[in-house]
Amino acid sequence: MNITAAKLVLILGALTAGSYACNCAHNNDAGRWIDVNSPAAEAAILIDAGGGCYQATTQGHMCVSFTNADQAVKDCLAEEADNDQSFHGDWFLWSAITCTDGDSHAQLTITV
């Protein structure tokens, strides 16, 4: 393996490791979400804003918060929300999702 290929392997390894470094968990309570945005789309907006809350147009109140946030934990929360949402006439997403990456923590909650 030449030097350039070795560098590429290290870079790809670091990127891959970073994308799977955090752990996410959720409760088993599906939060109903009725809004112009899907729950994952709104979560992405709140994540990009560094956290905050949003009242859905019809049903659902979402809050996103961070402690010692790094980009990895933000990316994990966004990915978890995207993977876990479902549509059955209305949108649903777990009413509580938490992600951790070392000492970085992210939380998403949906209430009525």
**For position 97, what pLDDT does the model report?**
98
Write the DSSP string, 33-93: EBSSS-HHHHHHHHHHTTSEEEE-SSB-EEEEEEES--HHHHHHHHHHHHHH-EESSSEEE
**For position 18, what pLDDT does the model report?**
42
Indicate whether 5 belongs to any domain: no
Indicate whether 11 belongs to any domain: no
Predicted TM-score (pTM) of this structure = 0.81
Closest CA to 60 of 102, 27, 93: 93
Domain enclosing residue 38, as ranges? 23-111
**For position 62, what pLDDT does the model report?**
98
Say how far residue 42 (Cα) sits from the centre of its chain: 10
Number of domains in the chain: 1
Indicate whether 99 belongs to any domain: yes
Rounded to an integer, what distance in angstroms lies between the CA atom of residue 36 and that of residue 64?
Answer: 18
**For position 7, what pLDDT does the model report?**
37
Render each residue's pLDDT in the chain as its tens digit; 112 residues.
444 433 333 333 333 344 447 999 999 999 999 999 999 999 999 999 999 999 999 999 999 999 999 999 999 999 999 999 999 999 999 999 999 999 999 999 999 8
**For position 80, what pLDDT does the model report?**
98
Indicate whether 62 belongs to any domain: yes
Closest CA to 99 of 75, 84, 85: 75
